[in-house]
C-alpha cells in the first residue's frame, strides 16, 4: 500500500513546484543576507558586485563594498547554506532509515565526538582550520566506535545501533566535560563553549572549501539512493523481498549522512533542531515520499539556517550562538508540527 501511495504522490506536479519554489526562496534569502548587516547594501549593488566576478562591468560601487560582499558575507552565507542543507538531509535520511520521527543527525554520536575533537584542538592552540580538521576526525571516530559495538555484540539491529550511539555520545559528553574542566577559564573555556553552541563568526571561504568536496559527494549519494530509502522504510523483510541489498544501502546511507553531519558540525559547531524539525516540515508539505522530501529538505534546511544566521549577526551588536536561536525557533515549531499531526499519532 505504501508503494502505491508513493507512486501516486510522484505524479503530483505541485510537489515539484514546491521544490522549485523553495529553491527560488533560498536564492532570494541568500541575496537578502548579503545585503543585511552593520554595513547595509542595496540589492542592486550586491547583484552587480557578484556579477563583476564573471563579467567586466562598469564599477558603481566602492572597493569596501566589494570586500564586505566577497570577504565577509559571501563565505558566511555559503557556509550557512551548506550547514543547513547538510543537517536537514542527514536528519531526513536517518528518520527514513530508522523509521523513527525523533531521530536527529547526531544519533550516532557524531556531534559529541566533533565537540571533543574541537576542544582538543583549542586546548592545543590550533587555528580555525586545525579545529575543523580535529572536529571532523572526532566525529568520524565517534561513529566508527558506534558502528563497531554492534559488530562486537554480533547484533546488527537498528535498536542496538541506536543504543550504541547513546553510549558513545554519553562517553564523549563526559570527555568534553573533562576537557572544559582543565581548560583555561579566561581564554580556552569561552572558545570551547561558544564553539559548542554553534557559530559562523570566524568562517572563511578557505575553511569552507576544505569541507565542500566530501560534503557534496555525500549529499549527492544520498540523493541518488533516496528511492531505496523508501523501500528500507517498509522493513527489512519487505525490502529484502524486493531485491534490495539491505546492508549495503543502509550502510551507504548511514556513512554518507554521518560524513555530511560531521562536515556541517566542523564548519559551524553544534547546531540543534534543524535535522529534527525540517524533515517533519517537509513531510507535512509534500507527503512521506523520500524521493521528494530529501530534495525539498535541502532547500528548506538551507533557508532555515540562513535566516537563523542572519538574525544571529544582525539583531544585536554581538554574535548570538546559533543553537540558542534554533532552539527558540525549532522547539515551538516542532510543537506546532506535533499539534498539526496530533490526529495521526496513536
Q: How confident is the model at residue 8 (pLDDT cuts 50, 70, 90)?
A: very low
* 129 and 237, same domain (yes or no): yes
Give me the percent of the chain exceeding a pLDDT of 90.
Answer: 41
Q: Do the domain assignments include residue 1?
A: no
Q: Which of 40, 64, 88 is the last residue of a domain?
A: 64
| Distance, CA of 117 to CA of 189 (rounded, Å) | 14
| Environment class of 29 (CB within 10 Å of its CB; exposed 0-12, middle 13-18, buried 19+) | buried
**Between 294 and 234, the higher pLDDT residue:** 294
Stretch (H or E) spanning 327: helix 322-340
pLDDT at 341: 66
Domain holding 256, by residue range, is 77-335
Number of domains in the chain: 2
Q: Do the domain assignments include residue 294?
A: yes
- DSSP codes joined into one string, 17-83: HHHHHHHHHHHHHHHHHHH-SSS---HHHHHHHHHTTTS-----S-HHHHHIIIIIIHHHHHHHHHH
* 272 and 150, same domain (yes or no): yes
| Distance, CA of 345 to CA of 322 (rounded, Å) | 31
* 83 and 112, same domain (yes or no): yes
Dump pLDDT digits (tens) for 253-303: 988 998 899 899 888 988 988 998 999 899 888 888 888 999 999 999 999
* 165 and 52, same domain (yes or no): no
Q: How confident is the model at residue 216 (pLDDT cuts 50, 70, 90)?
A: very high
| Distance, CA of 242 to CA of 158 (rounded, Å) | 20
| Distance, CA of 69 to CA of 177 (rounded, Å) | 38
Instruction: Report the predicted TM-score, pTM, of the whole model to 2 decimal places.
Output: 0.88
Q: Which residues contact 293 (CB under 8 A, 6 or more apart)?
A: 92, 279, 282, 283, 286, 287
Of 151-160, 161-170, 185-194, which gets the smallest average pLDDT? 151-160
pLDDT at 247: 83
pLDDT at 2: 43
| Distance, CA of 274 to CA of 282 (rounded, Å) | 12
pLDDT at 221 over 90: yes
* 144 and 33, same domain (yes or no): no
Q: Do the domain assignments include residue 9?
A: no
* 169 and 32, same domain (yes or no): no
* 256 and 126, same domain (yes or no): yes
Mean residue pLDDT across the chain? 86
The C-alpha cell of 266 is what?
Answer: 566542523
* 135 and 252, same domain (yes or no): yes
Q: How confident is the model at residue 39 (pLDDT cuts 50, 70, 90)?
A: confident
* 83 and 232, same domain (yes or no): yes
Q: Do the domain assignments include residue 89?
A: yes
Give me the percent of the chain exceeding a pLDDT of 70.
Answer: 94
The C-alpha cell of 52 is what?
Answer: 563583476
* 46 and 133, same domain (yes or no): no
Q: Do the domain assignments include residue 281?
A: yes
* 253 and 321, same domain (yes or no): yes
* 55 and 192, same domain (yes or no): no
Dump pLDDT digits (tens) for 100-134: 777 788 778 888 898 999 999 999 988 878 888 89
pLDDT at 158 over 80: no
Amino acid at each position: 500500500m505504501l508503494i502505491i501511495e508513493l507512486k501516486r504522490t510522484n505524479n503530483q506536479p505541485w510537489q515539484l513546484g514546491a521544490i522549485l519554489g523553495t529553491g527560488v526562496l533560498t536564492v532570494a534569502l541568500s541575496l537578502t543576507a548579503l545585503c543585511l548587516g552593520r554595513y547595509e547594501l542595496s540589492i542592486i549593488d550586491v547583484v552587480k558586485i557578484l556579477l563583476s566576478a564573471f563579467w567586466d562591468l562598469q564599477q558603481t560601487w566602492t572597493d569596501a563594498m566589494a570586500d564586505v560582499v566577497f570577504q565577509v558575507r559571501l563565505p558566511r552565507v555559503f557556509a550557512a547554506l551548506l550547514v543547513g542543507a547538510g543537517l536537514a538531509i542527514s536528519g531526513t535520511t536517518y528518520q527514513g532509515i530508522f523509521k523513527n520521527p525523533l531521530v536527529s543527525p547526531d544519533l550516532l554520536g557524531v556531534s559529541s565526538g566533533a565537540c571533543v575533537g574541537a576542544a582538543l584542538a583549542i586546548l592545543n592552540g590550533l587555528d580555525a582550520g586545525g579545529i575543523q580538521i580535529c572536529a571532523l576526525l572526532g566525529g568520524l571516530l565517534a561513529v566508527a566506535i558506534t558502528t563497531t559495538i554492534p559488530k562486537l555484540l554480533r547484533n546488527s539491529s537498528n535498536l542496538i545501533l541506536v543504543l550504541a550511539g547513546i553510549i558513545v555520545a554519553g562517553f564523549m559528553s563526559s570527555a568534553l566535560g573533562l576537557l572544559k574542566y582543565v581548560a583555561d577559564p579566561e581564554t580556552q573555556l569561552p572558545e570551547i563553549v561558544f564553539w559548542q553552541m554553534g557559530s559562523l563568526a570566524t568562517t572563511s571561504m578557505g575553511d569552507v572549501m576544505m569541507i565542500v568536496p566530501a560534503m557534496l559527494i555525500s549529499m549527492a549519494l544520498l540523493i541518488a539512493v533516496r528511492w531505496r530509502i523508501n523501500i528500507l522504510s517498509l522493513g527489512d523483510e519487505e525490502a529484502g523481498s524486493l531485491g534490495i541489498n539491505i546492508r549495503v544501502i543502509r550502510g551507504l546511507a548511514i556513512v554518507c549522512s554521518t560524513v555530511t553531519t560531521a562536515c556541517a558540525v566542523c564548519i559551524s559547531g553544534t547546531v540543534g533542531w534543524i535535522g529534527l524539525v525540517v524533515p517533519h516540515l517537509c513531510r507535512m508539505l509534500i507527503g512521506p515520499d523520500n524521493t521528494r522530501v530529501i530534495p525539498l529538505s535541502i532547500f528548506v534546511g538551507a533557508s532555515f539556517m540562513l535566516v537563523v544566521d542572519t538574525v544571529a549577526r544582525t539583531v544585536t551588536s554581538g554574535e548570538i550562538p546559533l543553537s540558542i536561536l534554533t532552539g527558540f525557533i525549532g522547539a515551538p515549531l516542532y510543537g506546532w508540527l506535533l499539534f498539526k499531526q496530533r490526529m495521526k499519532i496513536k
